[in-house]
Amino acid sequence: MDDNRIIKTEYSEEMQKSFIDYAMSVIIARALPDIRDGLKPVQRRTLYDMYELGIRYDRPYRKSARIVGDTMGKYHPHGDSSIYEALVVMTQDFKRGLPLIDGHGNFGNIEGDGAAAMRYTEARLQKITQEAFLADLDKDVVDFVPNFDETEKEPCVLPVKIPNFLVNGSEGIAVGMVTSTPPHNLGEVIDAVKAYMLNEDITTRELMKYIKGPDFPTGGIVINKDELPEIYETGTGKIKLRGKVEFENVRGGRTNVVITEIPYTMIGANISKFLTDIAALSETKKTQDIVDISNQSSKEGIRIVIELKKDADPENFVNLLYKKTRLEDTFGVNMLAIADGRPETMGLKQIIKACVDFQYQVNTRKYRNLLAHEMERKEIQEGLIKACNVIDLIIEILRGSRDRSMAKACLVEGKTEGIKFKYKESRIMAEQLAFTERQANAILEMRLYRLIGLEIEALIKEHEETMANIYRYEDILDRKDSMAQVIINELEAYKKEYGRKRRTLIENGREAVYREKELEETEVFFVMDRFGYAKTIDSSTYERNKEAADAEYKYVIPCKNTGKVCLFTDSGQMHSVKVLDLPAGKLRDKGIPIDNVSNYNSEKEDIVYIASQTELNLRQLVFVTAKSMVKIVDGGEFDVSKRTVAATRLNEGDRLVSVVSLQDQTNIILRSKEGYFLRFQIEEISQMKKTAVGMRGMKLGDKDSVEAVYYTAATDLTFIEYGSRNVMLNSLKLAKRDGKGTKIRA
């Protein structure tokens, strides 16, 4: 290989250059809209392609696949899915304040169902798109640039006559930047543009007399009205949205909460998540007011019905929805667009100024071209009128000329050589002719019927209209206020035909305050079977079925419905469970795995003790580990807010064997794996903090460990089965702590 063809470059510099090129491509050519027409490249190309294909609003629909394929082949080589997705969004009236495409077929819905495949759906331009976005493309009002393979020409921007960037808003993620502009009301935006054109020194706050705030197609309520001026001044901020809620009284004295409008941010799959979140409020016992939830939404609009219990407070319940679900949400505003070839975050006045400046540019080019066209017509018309006055001479010239060029030379320059004239006077008159090139061509191409008297009158009238147009166009081009009036008149026409009432309410909403209903404290029983399924049953049910409950469940713990149950595990952890998080059921109901409502992991640790928080606060606990570390801890130390805390400190390789609450026990008996029993008085065990390791309770051999722990009261005669023998614990020798104990053969 020739060394001269190898370009040596620093790797980091090449990476930096390549990434910057990629980032700028995404920013400029894909993700961000142009401030002038408010369109991303894919949207602009799709609309232009439909215009080129002749898919007008008053013509039949065409298959979306045809539009997508043509756009991809001619202008946008980025894959059909991105083009079709852009087309779909431009048809959806729940996403766009002003849909630009008229869709026929399944183009998705507000609840998140996607559009049908492009081979099934059809589309055509909306009337306003044709009139306000594409109408003047034939008048050379914008620059055309080569497409990706330089086989076609495409407009670098569409000559949009309304501030589409504000009306339809935009969302896009580029490299290192995001654009997020809410949609606005067309009529309000036009009023604001008019106000700016009449007074360019107008302030943002004055503009907001016309633009009250965003106008989302889903309606809803903006609740931070006082923060909007700052957002529109800077172009960034957060808009707080709420859905619209109504109350319906139904039979039985109950009230239904009906959601008729949702926040714009809830469009799509978030509606189903919203319904799930409401159901979760009931499942997690955040509220006990819900009877049923039904989504009755249809083409007519959103209707989500929540049936409440008879004694429920509907306003308080709605405040809960605002606080715990997306019925109250935030729309992040970052009005970022491409302006003068680079991304820029713009305030309301800057956006309107950019759109108005663009209108002046477009209209200047438009009326210059129209003026040039009328000047050409004027020249031709004046030539034809002049020709009609000397028509006999012109006919004589035409009959006497050998060819077209000879006749044309006579008309333009007065050359008569070679032309046969009938009269000498005619040659003298012909030498005085001085038509322009354009006039001469028009005369030579003129048909004889134009010599009819009425046709000549029509020509004179047409010339008068042309002169009036020239005067009007020159006035528009020479005087800024005349051009401003033209732009304002067009905007007024669009407002009259396409304007609609505001959908979104703008106000200063009060903060949602949810008052939790005070729960009446009652005594219940926590029950858990040997498989780890837990629930609560009320005390009356337990008392009626005491024997069956004690036999069926491994743990039966009395507790308060407002309290907690604490689980001590062999890993030295204490996991607390709110009683309210447990399902309340009947005796035979299955319950739920305790793992689901706590941090306890049944696959990694075993429960050694369960007690209610109420009992722990009244008792002292004796801890015993496998390596014979013992201590007493005040139960009040475990009254903590955390769901999991370390119940004791364990040495490496050790585990917790037993936790027992002290009542009237006096003696403790430790039994080792190798059959040693050590009985000593509990008072020998010191009280320590839960973070302490403890003291040694029994001397163990190298491979021995504590296997079981027993307790006796002074007057008890307690027997246990050990292997094939019955051992009376009270008869064991009372020794001192930290002894080896007595070995008993099983």
Q: Tell whether 277 and 373 lie within a shared domain.
A: no
Strands 505-506 vs 221-222: parallel, antiparallel or unpaired = parallel
Q: Do residues 629 and 739 share a domain? A: yes
Check residue 23 and give its pLDDT: 56
Residue 235 lies in a domain: no
**Alpha carbons 329 and 335: distance in angstroms, whole number:** 19
Q: Is 482 left (phi over 0), alpha (psi -120 to 50) or beta?
A: alpha
Kindly report the CATH number assigned to the domain that includes residue 293: 3.30.1360.40
Note the pLDDT of residue 744: 86
* pLDDT tens digits, 208-221: 999 999 999 999 99
Listed residue (76, 82, 30) closest to 49, CA to CA: 76
Say whether pLDDT at 17 is over 80. no
- 416/493 same-domain check: yes
Neighbours of 346 (CB within 10 A): 19
Quick check: 179 pLDDT over 70? Answer: yes
* DSSP one-letter code for 545: T
Q: Is residue 280 part of a domain?
A: yes
Q: Are residues 315 and 421 in the same domain?
A: no
- The CA distance from 165 to 179, in Å, is 11
User: Which one is predicted more confidently, 239 or 383?
Assistant: 239
Same domain? 307 vs 380: no
Could you tell me what percent of the chain has a pLDDT over 90? 60
Query: How many CB atoms are located within 10 Å of the residue 547 CB?
Result: 7
Task: Give the pLDDT of residue 487.
Answer: 95
pLDDT, position 1: 46
Q: Which position has the token pair 């080896």? A: 740
CA-to-CA distance for 70 and 52, rounded, in angstroms?
A: 10
CA atoms within 13 A on the CB side of 714: 2
Inside any domain, residue 555:
no
Regarding whether 376 and 494 lie in a shared domain, the answer is: yes
Quick: pLDDT tens for 499-540: 999 999 999 988 777 676 666 788 999 999 999 999 999 899
- Amino acid letter for position 278: I
Give the mean pLDDT of 357-364.
Answer: 95
Once rounded to an integer, what is the mean pLDDT over residues 353-368?
Answer: 95
Question: Do 140 and 268 sit in the same domain of this protein?
Answer: no
Residues 136 and 59 in one domain: yes
Query: Any idea what the Cα angle at residue 296 is, between residues 295 and 298, rounded to 5°?
Result: 120
Is residue 314 domain-shared with residue 389, that is, in the same domain? no
Least confidently predicted of 304-318, 446-460, 503-517, 614-628: 446-460
Q: Structure tokens of 336?
A: 């970022």
**pLDDT band (50, 70, 90) for residue 4:** low
Per-chain mean pLDDT for the chain: 89
DSSP assignment of 474-532: HHHHH-HHHHHHHHHHHHHHHHHHH-----SEE-BPPPP---PPPPPP-EEEEEE-TTS
* Residue 574 pLDDT > 60: yes
CATH number of domain containing 627: 2.120.10.90
**Distance between CA atoms of residues 197 and 199, nearest Å:** 6
Structural domain includes residue 31: yes
Averaged pLDDT for residues 20-39: 74
d(CA 73, CA 304): 44
Q: What is the pLDDT of residue 395?
A: 83
Q: Are 147 and 85 found together in one domain?
A: yes
What is the structure's pLDDT at 103? 95
Residue type, 227: E
251 in a structural domain: yes
Same domain for 373 and 459: yes
Q: How far from chain centre, in Å, is Cα 746?
A: 70
Q: How many domains does the chain have?
A: 4
Show the domain range for 670.
619-743
pLDDT score, position 430: 83
pLDDT for 20: 65
Q: Is 600 a catalytic residue?
A: no
State residue 107's pLDDT score.
Answer: 94
Any idea what the Cα angle at residue 76 is, between residues 72 and 81, rounded to 5°? 60
In this prediction, residue 447 carries a pLDDT of 79
N- to C-terminal Cα separation, the chain: 89
Largest CA distance in the chain: 162
Domain stop point among 462, 483, 498 = 498
Confidence at 434, pLDDT banded by 50, 70, 90: confident
The residue from 48, 51, 61, 120 that is catalytic is 120
Q: Return the ∠ at Cα 628 (arms to 627 and 629), rounded to 5°.
A: 100
Per DSSP, what are the bridge partners of residue 290?
308
Give the integer Cα–Cα distance in Å for 551 and 548. 5
74-91 pLDDT, tens digit each: 999 888 999 999 999 999
In a domain, 83, yes or no: yes
Rounded average pLDDT over 99-106:
95
pLDDT at 374 over 80: yes
- Minimum mean pLDDT range among 87-91, 303-307, 419-423: 419-423
In this structure, which amino acid lies at residue 215?
Answer: D
Q: What is the pLDDT of residue 146?
A: 92
76, 42 contact by CB (below 8 A): yes
- List Cα–Cα distances, 415 to 397, 616, 721, in angstroms: 11, 125, 141
Alpha helices (H) in 401-452, listed in sequence order: 404-413, 424-430, 437-445
- Whichever domain contains 468, its CATH number is 1.10.268.10
- Confidence category of residue 310, pLDDT binned at 50, 70, 90: confident
Instruction: Please indicate, yes or no, if residue 593 is contained in any of the structural domains.
Output: no
**How far is it, in rounded angstroms, from Cα 302 to Cα 331?**
20
User: Residue 482 — very low, low, confident or very high, per pLDDT cuts 50/70/90?
Assistant: very high
The dihedrals phi and psi of 283, each to the nearest 5 degrees, come to -65, -35
Q: Percent of the chain, pLDDT > 70?
A: 96
Q: If DSSP codes are grouped into helix, strand and coil, which group holds residue 587?
A: coil
- Amino acid in position 574: M
pLDDT of residue 116: 95
Stretch 688-702: mean pLDDT:
93
Q: How confident is the model at residue 53, as a pLDDT?
A: 95
**Residues 368, 320 share a domain:** no
251-262 mean pLDDT? 89
In a domain, 331, yes or no: no
Give pTM, 2 decimals.
0.74
Answer with the one of 111, 145, 160 that is the final residue of a domain: 160
Query: What is the 3-state composition of the chain as percent helix, strand, coil, each rounded to the nearest 5?
Result: 40, 25, 35
Check: CB of residue 732 under 8 Å from CB of residue 665. Answer: no
- How much is the pLDDT for 720? 86
- Of 498, 531, 551, at which residue does a domain stop? 498
